[in-house]
Amino acid sequence: MLVTPPRDIALKEPESPPPPGGPFTYATTGDKPNWYIQAWNIPAGKLSAFVERKERSNTVFSSSAPEAGVQIVKLPDGRTSYRLSQDGTVLPCSHQGEPLESNLLAGPNALHARPPEWSSMTLRRDDMLPIAQLVHLVASATVAIRFAPTVLRKGCAVSQAAALISVVLNNRTAHQTLFYQVALSFGCGPQPEARQRLCETLTNHPRASYYFRTNPFGVADVLPLFGQNWLTNDERHTLHLDLLPHLLRLIETGPSAMDHDSSHWTVDGYYNGQHIWGDVTMTSEWDDVGLIATTR
């Protein structure tokens, strides 16, 4: 296993790009958090410090802001699950002329985590094997989603949302980074007719594509290309996705500026969560999250 499950979770300052040494922690659910949650592009104010309460034998931590909310549930057996919520009602349609994407993401603390935080990566960077030496790279999670249009609408040019799982790859030979995201759901909100047609086309005829074609590279993959349907509202889905064949193919056929040699790329990080644009709401619940590599 490349990533240990969440135990306690920290909230990170939303400033992007982060200041030197950041992003900084400002709230935690316990003394030794090994995972974090961070909101990006949260214009109405950052997530609040956690409020703790008991629900039967569970301990629940809640944090909120006008545009986002987090609920973390710690079970007596040591397992921790979390729910992420976003509300586009107070989200501006655009920033500097571009549709504004707002993110709410959870992930394991990196190898360089400083006390009192603990790393959730099980291998040191020097021990990471190139993906060319792997047989499988399986991301697993039990996920439930809820997507809907906002009640009040601003008439944004883009309104959509998705839940996602992502790994971050590092290439020390070419000094390159690759953000690889798998969209698990794809919700089209109220938007102009031409954009709505595009959104419906992407939903009904999904494809993988590079959204950043220079370093750091970014590629968006989609759940239907793993032979599974998009996640649907109010149903729990347990996923086991072998990312490796997709990664190998996408690196081999990537942009010309990319190093296409898979023996130069290693897994350096992981995150999951969701992102929204415009007049939509989105909630995702996450349990039993894991990332397991199998070697030759």
The strand pair at 80-87 and 68-74 is best described as: antiparallel
The whole-number pLDDT of residue 125 equals: 62
Give residues with Cβ within 8 angstroms of 121, minimum separation 6. 2, 3, 108, 109, 110, 111, 269
The average pLDDT across 69-98 equals: 95
The whole-number pLDDT of residue 127 equals: 67
Q: What is the pTM of this model?
A: 0.94
The whole-number pLDDT of residue 119 equals: 83
pLDDT tens, residue by residue, 217-266: 999 999 999 999 999 999 999 999 999 999 999 999 999 999 999 999 99
Could you tell me the domains of the chain? 9-295 (2.60.120.180)
Euclidean distance between CA atoms 283 and 243, whole angstroms: 24
Burial (Cβ within 10 Å: 0-12, 13-18, ≥19) of residue 166: buried
The average pLDDT across 262-288 equals: 96
Q: How confident is the model at residue 271 (pLDDT cuts 50, 70, 90)?
A: very high
The whole-number pLDDT of residue 117 equals: 83
The whole-number pLDDT of residue 126 equals: 61
The whole-number pLDDT of residue 207 equals: 94
